[in-house]
Amino acid sequence: MKRGEMGAALLLLALAALAGPAAGGNAFPLPETLGVLVDEGLANNRQIQGMRAAVRGMEDEAVAAGALDDPVIGIGLLNLPIDSFALDQEPMTQKQIFVDQKFPWFGKLGLKRQMAETAASNRDALVLARENELARMIAQTWFDLGFAHESLELNRKLSAILGQVLRVAETRYASGRGLQQDVLQAQVEESQALEEKISLEQDILTLQRRLNELLNREGFEPVSPPENLPPPRAPQAGTQELAVRALAGSPIILAARLAVAEARTGVGLAEKNYRPDTSVRLAYGQRDEDPMGRDRADFLSASVMLNVPLWKKGPILAAAKNRLLASELTLANLSSAMPHRVGGLVAEIEKALENKRLYEEALLVQAGQWADSSLDAYSVGKLEFANVLSARLRLLRFERMAANQKYMAWKKLAALEELMGGFTPAPGGPPAWEPKAAGVREGGSAMEKDSPGEERGRP
């Protein structure tokens, strides 16, 4: 498959994915800022540029693979007598020039070129997969950055509330209605909030540097985090439909299919090697005059040579068949795993969105009422200080968990886009990171981890 043919096929798949919502799918409009970052990362990545150059080299090699071997030209002296080394002594002595040309068995050159073109297309699909992987890593790091910023805002909110609670505790202690330990506990909580603020600021700096690394920038430049990012919508298409679209649009699946095609062509070529190649030689022999000065006719010679496929053909064919079996098993494994990966990611997205709704519609409302009533009750001496702090911390912890679930859903959606092949279009297609139909894939890199600070028990 030529690069242009593969590009057209991928473009059709991308258009089919964009048309998916009309058939029951669901498009996900992704943030414009993230699209700009993805485009920058893809444009600046030297590894991808090097892989593209390697693909172009393989395409050039494919043209050469379908051409005949270069002819061989030679000169020689035939039948030269060693007693005198005279060129005119013997009638058969001649100065010869010849040309050899090898002609492979019918169909071999076509199979060699087809195999080389398929290998180039395979590498091209792997480049697309690498671009999708990079785009997903940029997206997930950017979402981690957004969660860290929201956590920092909640930390500032916590510090303000702790300051308010501390003032109430100091007032009650000064009037003799409160305990000194309440003041000390509030001060300890305030110091912990400051420690967490420092940690979150370091997390933000680390994520900023990680994004600069992924964008391959020469120097450090701040990256704007998501602002007022709403939660994504859950996929409305069925898991089976999404799996079919993933099988059609994933560059990894396409690369596996091309590997099978390449290996199958290799088997055909190995079978052709049981047929002999032909070498043709044409030679022209020039003779000198005889010792009496009479002219001698020059010679024209022709010969045909066939190689005998005797020693190496069997092992070569067996190796080609084993490569075909390995590639078919790899494709079968990827294809059978796809519905499970799709279903798993869809379930994780739906779970994260359901948890976020639970926090916002129930837990945050209840915790907010508890926190407000606790502070009022403490002000008039009807509730212990520890209960006030617990209520406030629980409220902010729920707010942070809700934010974490939102960004987790976005991160899983980014993994989904990678699986569907939705980050990068086919050559000549639309710009990267267009709104795509709901697609699916699991995260598989080091960036697929808990958000910074997620393990902490406080907001």
Concatenating the DSSP letter of every residue in 161-184 gives HHHHHHHHHHHHHHTTSS-HHHHH
pLDDT at 231 over 60: yes
Percent of the chain whose pLDDT exceeds 90 = 33
Residue range(s) defining the domain that contains residue 170? 3-68+133-254+335-437
Burial class (CB in 10 A: 0-12, 13-18, 19+), 29: exposed
Residue 459 lies inside a defined structural domain of this protein: no
* Helix residue spans in 359-455 (DSSP H): 364-379, 385-420
pLDDT at residue 29, as a whole number: 54
Residue 277 lies inside a defined structural domain of this protein: no
pLDDT at 19 over 60: no
What is the C-alpha to C-alpha distance for residues 139 and 205, in angstroms, rounded to an integer?
17
Beta bridge partners of 303: 281
What is the C-alpha to C-alpha distance for residues 364 and 426, in angstroms, rounded to an integer?
45
List the single range of 15-24, 59-68, 278-287 with lowest mean pLDDT.
Answer: 15-24
Phi-psi bin for 90: left (phi > 0), alpha (psi -120 to 50), beta?
A: beta
Residue 72 near residue 134, CB atoms below 8 Å? no
Angle between helices 32-44 and 108-174 (to 10 degrees): 130
Phi-psi bin for 181: left (phi > 0), alpha (psi -120 to 50), beta?
A: alpha
Look up residue 210 and give its two tokens: 């990680």
pLDDT at 369 over 80: no
pLDDT at residue 385, as a whole number: 64
Residue 287 lies inside a defined structural domain of this protein: no
Residue 112 lies inside a defined structural domain of this protein: no
pLDDT at residue 267, as a whole number: 94
Model confidence at 356, in pLDDT bands (50, 70, 90)?
Answer: confident
Residue 126 lies inside a defined structural domain of this protein: no
pLDDT, tens only, 67-111? 888 899 999 988 888 888 888 878 888 889 999 999 998 898 999
Beta bridge partners of 280: 101, 304
How distant is the alpha carbon of residue 11 from its chain centre?
17
What is the value of pTM for the model shown? Answer: 0.75
pLDDT at residue 90, as a whole number: 81
Residue 212 lies inside a defined structural domain of this protein: yes
Residue 346 lies inside a defined structural domain of this protein: yes
Say how many domains are in the chain: 1
List the single range of 27-31, 178-182, 310-314, 427-431 with lowest mean pLDDT.
Answer: 427-431
* Helix residue spans in 215-312 (DSSP H): 239-249, 251-272
Model confidence at 254, in pLDDT bands (50, 70, 90)?
Answer: very high
For residue 372, the domain's CATH number is 1.20.1600.10
pLDDT at 433 over 70: no
Residue 82: partners with Cβ closer than 8 Å, 6 or more residues away = none
Model confidence at 176, in pLDDT bands (50, 70, 90)?
Answer: low
Look up residue 341 and give its two tokens: 């990966």
Q: How many CB atoms lie within 10 A of CB 393?
A: 20
Residue 445 lies inside a defined structural domain of this protein: no
Beta bridge partners of 74: 98
What is the C-alpha to C-alpha distance for residues 269 and 359, in angstroms, rounded to an integer?
63
